[in-house]
């Protein structure tokens, strides 16, 4: 087959420093598939517009990138989603890509981070290795994005996976769905927790992590402090973890034809 492209597609972030988590995964994928030319796309129009306005960098959305690759004569395009769950943004991306399936000899897509039970287990085990042993009065709380899409159930499955692995003091809430902060607080109260560590369950530690999770006003950190908890934050995007990069490489290797 002729020219081959690797298109790595993420939601994106307007925080340049947080973008390094995306770069970590991109670099791992580029090393794993060196015979493909590398390209990046973001699915968030708001993120794309703000980066272009503030940084003078133009990042294409998936449809724009496919149009470019078709014009440049690529015959095989291997796409890898960097989305956490197969939710709204993932489905939007699939819709854009599907309209280009007849423009290439081969157009494939790798699944998002959490798709099968084994994905949840791999990620949760890796995170527990990072957390270590918690004291009886301590808890670790992850903030996911959350969505009205039914794929939001993934966040409850993450917490259940932590529980199945023996982690009784690791909890998961979301900004825009259930479980929410009220749910997390009910668990902390029931377990007699005094000290809480907050971290993002997101590929990047971007806007939600910096403001909704760890901001100095109207955040999970300030709410829990006001409730009497000792709170610390660890603002590391999931994309910076080796296990996450390895999982995306595995998903890319198993990429399926876009229908």
Dump the DSSP string for 72-126. Answer: TT--EEEEEE--SSSSHHHHHHHHHHHTTTTSSSEEEEE--S--SHHHHHHHHHH
Residue 215: closest CA among 204, 200, 193: 200
Contacts with 108 (C-beta within 8 Å, 6 or more apart), sequence order: 77, 78, 79, 255, 256, 257, 258
Which of 145, 169, 208, 251 is the catalytic position? Answer: 145
Beta-carbon neighbour count of residue 256 at 10 Å?
A: 10
In contact, 14 and 207? CB cutoff 8 Å: yes
* 145 a catalytic residue: yes
Catalytic residues: 145
């Amino acid at each position: 087959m002729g020219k081959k492209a690797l298109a790595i597609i993420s939601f994106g972030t307007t925080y340049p420093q947080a973008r390094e988590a995306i770069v970590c995964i991109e670099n791992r994928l580029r090393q794993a598939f060196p015979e493909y030319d590398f390209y990046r796309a973001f699915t968030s129009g708001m993120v794309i517009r703000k980066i272009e306005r503030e940084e003078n960098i133009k990042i294409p959305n998936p449809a724009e990138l496919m149009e470019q690759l078709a014009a440049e004569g690529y015959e095989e395009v291997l796409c890898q989603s960097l989305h956490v769950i197969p939710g709204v943004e993932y489905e939007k991306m699939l819709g854009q890509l599907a309209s280009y399936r007849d423009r290439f000899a081969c157009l494939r897509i790798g699944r998002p981070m959490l798709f099968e039970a084994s994905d949840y287990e791999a990620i949760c085990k890796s995170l527990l290795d990072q957390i270590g042993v918690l004291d009886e009065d301590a808890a670790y709380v992850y903030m996911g994005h959350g969505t009205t899409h039914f794929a939001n159930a993934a966040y409850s499955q993450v917490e259940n996976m932590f529980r199945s692995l023996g982690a009784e003091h690791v909890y998961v809430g979301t900004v825009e769905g259930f479980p929410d902060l009220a749910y997390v607080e009910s668990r902390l109260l029931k377990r007699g927790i005094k000290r809480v560590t907050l971290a993002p369950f997101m590929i990047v530690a971007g806007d939600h992590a910096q403001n909704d999770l760890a901001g100095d006003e109207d955040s999970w950190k300030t709410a829990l402090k006001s409730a009497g908890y000792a709170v610390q934050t660890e603002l590391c995007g999931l994309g910076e973890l080796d296990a996450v990069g390895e999982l995306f490489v595995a998903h890319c290797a198993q990429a399926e034809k876009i229908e």
